[in-house]
Structures are given as structure tokens and as C-alpha cells.
Amino acid sequence: MARSMAMAGNIAAAYSTKQINPHVVAAYPITPQTTMMEKFSEYVANGEVDTELICVESEHSAMSACVGAAAAGGRVITSTAANGLALMFEIVYIAASNRLPIIMCVMNRALSAPINIHGDHSDSMGCRDSGWIQIYNENAQEVYDTMFMGVRIGEHKDVRLPVMVNLDGFITSHKIEKVDTLEDAEVRKFIGEYEPFYPLLDIENPVTYGPLDLTDYYFEHKRQQVEAMEKALPVVKKISKEYSNYTGRNYDILESYHLDDADCAIVTMSSTAGTTKFVVDKMRSEGKKVGMLKVRLFRPFPVEEIRECLSGLKSVAVLDRSASFGGFGGPLFNEIRNAMYDVDGKPSIVNYIFGLGGRDISAVQIEGVYDRLMTAQAKMPGDVHYIGVRGD
């Protein structure tokens, strides 16, 4: 029988990693990821897992060890944040390009400089073209559940790609919430035994990973990688549905909240989606036709599903927790407006950048965005706006 436990997001990530009992975990500590690996180290020291924990000297080495272990045929998990992810950047691409289903928790945190340890999405958004599946989680419960789904998604024979499980640094990583857990046996039943493809340790059938691949075949391999991402989308949907049926907790690639009869909507990700739902509840009780779309799956980006959700709306605000310097709005805005470009009668779509470096976003501020959407439905002046920053 499942138990309800009080857990911070990081502890939920550590506990689910314990229940997955991976062959190898390699990690280097960085705020706000550290408490996950501290907790997991405790499980290792207590003999509660069979995992080989490799304490490396940097994140570059952490991901390198993960690549080696995954190529050898192991089920592999790591975790990092911000500058740690930036340091492993080179190997992040190599993990995806070698089609290695590694799971990595990223406690999303601002990148330096100036130094800031708090939550925003600039770290993982820097990796959005790296070939990793990216799932953004609203709370500790989603983090816990997504770890198990992530294992199945990444290891699926049509996919074979690494999965990044994102949670908001501090806001989710360090906030204690109620998490309904599964029994170890229930987890094992859902994730199943790992069957590696072409493991290096299968010495009867030797293979090579990452050889030289120049103008002759590199392009074909990249084209196949693109195709693997495309194939990942229905797999994420299928596994989410299977997990929902298994646990009674509903998951999908998107979460549509009161969109059916809405005039205007906010599109956002992670913990801010929760605060936005809170605001939608309040405004709906006042008879205002507002809705929200939460994007859980950012890579691969679910274009068709987003078109379905946002068609028929009059106006949409996309809330990005990262800036794209010199770009046309934030990364989520880029994708959303691009996806809607060919839709007849598309809504007007504006962008708001918020919460950089962990600046809190309040319900009042989100209500302000809805108020502006409702009063200027036809067209907002300007495309990119900011929430809660001085001098704007």
C-alpha cells in the first residue's frame, strides 16, 4: 500500500532513485541539487541499494562516467544544476548522440554571472538542442512520478534517449510537500528489468561507441536522432497514460486547465503552472473565462497537441523563466508562437519573462497578466514583457 510522506523535491528524487535501484549513479554536488545526492549517498552507505555510486571530481566527469556506464549496459542516473550542467555540456550532447537512456534530474537554477543559486530555467534551456527529452515538473509529487516514467521512456526501443527531469531549484527542490509513494515492488513492476541495446560488456558481440563519422554518415546519424525524438512523443504519451492507470495520478505531455471555454490563457511550466492554476480558480469563481496550459514535455515539443489546446482562444500570454539574449522572446514563447503561426484565427500571443534568479512570482502578478489579456484581447502593444523587474 502506498504511503504519504513529507518530502522536499530533492528527497522525492533521491527516494525514487533508490526505488529504481540503478546500476550506476555518478554525480558531483552543486546547490540546489546537493541534498538529493546526500540522501542517495545515505541509501548507498546503508546498503539499501545495489548501486555503484561514483563520486567524481566534476560534472564533466559525472556525465562522462554516466556515458561509459550506460554504454556498458547499465541503468544510470545523475543529477546537477546550473553551472554544473554548463560544465558537463559537452558530454550532455554525447550522451544523447550515443542514444544512451540516462536519467538526469536538473534542479533548475540561474547561471552565473553574477552568482545566484536560485531557481530559473536558464540552465536546462541552454541544453534544449542537446537531444535530451525534457520534462518540467510542477511539484515534488510530479518529480517522484516522472523518475519512473522517465526510465520507461528513455529505455523504450523506439526512443533510446536520455531524459532530463526538471524541477524548480529551491521552490520545488527544497519545499516540503506531501508525496504519495509506491511500494518498491510496485516500482519494480512498472519499470521492469533493463534490457540494454548493444552493451559494451557483451563481449561476444563487440561494438564501438562514438567512432569517427565525417561527411560520409554523420548527417544520416543526426537525421536518425531527429527521428528518435519524433518517435519519443507518442511514447511519452503512452507511458504517461500507463502510469496514470497504474497509480491513479493523471499525467500527460500537457496539462490543460479550464481551456475549453476560455477566452484567454497563460502558457507556462513547472511550479509557476501551479500558482497559475490557483489564480485561474480564483478568477473562475468570479466568472472570468481564463485558462492555463502547462507544458510538461518541452523536448520533443508537442506541436500538434499545443495547436489543439490553444486554437479558439482570443489571447495567450507565454510565461518564460529564462531569457534568450538577443532572441525574439523566451524559449517557450518561441516554440508556442512558431507552433501557432499557421493556425487560422490564431490567438494573439505575447511573452512575459519572469522569476530570473529565483525572484518570486505571486498570484497577484499572474492575475495582472490575465487582467491585461482580458482588457487588450485583440492586440497587446509590444511582444515581450517582464514581470516584477525594476526599471521596466
Partner 1 sequence: MGLKEIRWHGRGGQGVVTASELIAEAAILEGNYIQAFPEFGPERMGAPIKAFTRISDEPIKIHSQVYTPDIVMVLDPTLLGSVNVTEGLSDDGILIVNTPLGEGELRAQLGFNGKIYAFNATKIAMETIGRPVANTSCAGALVKASGLVKLENLLDVTEEKFKEKLSQKAIIANKEAIKAAYEAV
Binding site for partner 1 (CB under 8 A): 4-6, 118, 138-139, 168, 170-172, 174-178, 271-272, 274-275, 277-278, 281, 358, 360-364
Q: Which is nearer to partner 1, 179 or 310 (CB)?
A: 179
Asked if 102 contacts 162 with a C-beta cutoff of 8 angstroms, the reply is: yes
Q: How far is the CB of 39 from partner 1 (least distance, A)?
A: 13
What residues have CB less than 8 Å from 124, skipping those under 6 apart? 85, 106, 108, 134, 164, 166
> Nearest-CA neighbor of 279 among 269, 297, 266, 270?
266
Q: How far is the CB of 391 from partner 1 (least distance, A)?
A: 22
Q: How far is the CB of 351 from partner 1 (least distance, A)?
A: 21
Asked if 328 contacts 383 with a C-beta cutoff of 8 angstroms, the reply is: yes
CA atoms within 13 A on the CB side of 29: 8
Q: Which is nearer to partner 1, 42 or 220 (CB)?
A: 42
All three cell numbers of 167, joined, read: 524541477
Q: Which is nearer to partner 1, 18 or 118 (CB)?
A: 118
Q: Which is nearer to partner 1, 75 or 321 (CB)?
A: 321
Q: How far is the CB of 259 from partner 1 (least distance, A)?
A: 16
Q: How far is the CB of 3 from partner 1 (least distance, A)?
A: 10
Q: Which is nearer to partner 1, 139 or 348 (CB)?
A: 139
DSSP 3-state of 221: helix
Q: Give the C-alpha separation, 299 to 196, whole Å.
A: 23
Q: Which is nearer to partner 1, 4 or 375 (CB)?
A: 4
Q: How far is the CB of 202 from partner 1 (least distance, A)?
A: 44
Q: Give the C-alpha separation, 133 to 196, whole Å.
A: 18
Residue 317, phi then psi, degrees to nearest 5: -115, 130
Asked if 48 contacts 19 with a C-beta cutoff of 8 angstroms, the reply is: no
Q: How is the beta sheet containing 254-257 ordered, strand by strand?
A: 254-257, 290-295, 264-268, 315-320, 348-353, 384-386
